[in-house]
Amino acid sequence: MDEQLILQQTQTWVSSFVIGHNLCPFAAKPFRENRIRYRVMANETLEKHTEILMQEGHFLFDGAKAWDTTLLIYPEQWIHFQDYLDFIVVMDDCIDKVGWRGDLQLATFHPQYQFAGEDPHGPTHFTNRSPFPMLHLLLEDQVETAIHTHPNTKLIPNRNKEQMEELGVPYLSAQLMRWQNLS
């Protein structure tokens, strides 16, 4: 595992896709200010990953606000989307068990991401497709602040879906492959 390459691939995806297509209007500022924490996770047990989630949550809560958010990147695990979904259930339960529901939010990204009930070959899944399986840890108070500064956050998902449809699956697939194969 080449950690530096994985970081480069992830940062390129964030800058060129997430920010470049304005999928998350709140991402540009922390990216520009270098306030996104990236952690490449080694192949570990599920128990170890829940411990890391707890450590990272405490780090974000207690981190003197040096970081706005964290991306946990899993380049060697949960390659199959269903396995990733099972992993997410465990991690989400972990948030509940420690009482962080409403304080820490998990956003999910995966190379094979697929929204339930949508055409499996449709372009809208690409809003949550990433070079590697990832968990995005967000502090709820910062999410609330960002929502209050945006004119209408309810329009974001539909705008993103329309944009993905305009870009089309061939383009989006080629971009995803490019981020996965940076060298």
Question: For residue 183, is pLDDT > 70?
Answer: no
Both tokens of residue 166? 């305009």
What is the model's pLDDT at position 94? 95
Q: What is the pLDDT of residues 62-117, one digit of tens each?
A: 865 677 889 999 999 999 999 999 999 999 999 999 999 999 999 999 999 999 99
Q: What amino acid occupies position 183?
A: S
Ordered by start, the domain boundaries in the chain are 3-177
pLDDT bin (cut points 50, 70, 90) of residue 26 is: confident
Q: For residues 181 and 179, what is the distance between their CA atoms, to the nearest angstrom? A: 6
- Count CB-CB contacts under 10 A for residue 131: 25
Q: For residues 11 and 5, what is the distance between their CA atoms, to the nearest angstrom? A: 10
pLDDT bin (cut points 50, 70, 90) of residue 147 is: low
* Torsion over CA: 112, 114, 120, 126 (sign): negative
Q: What is the pLDDT of residues 73-82, one digit of tens each?
A: 999 999 999 9
Q: Where does 28-116 show beta strands of DSSP type E?
A: 36-40, 69-73, 104-109
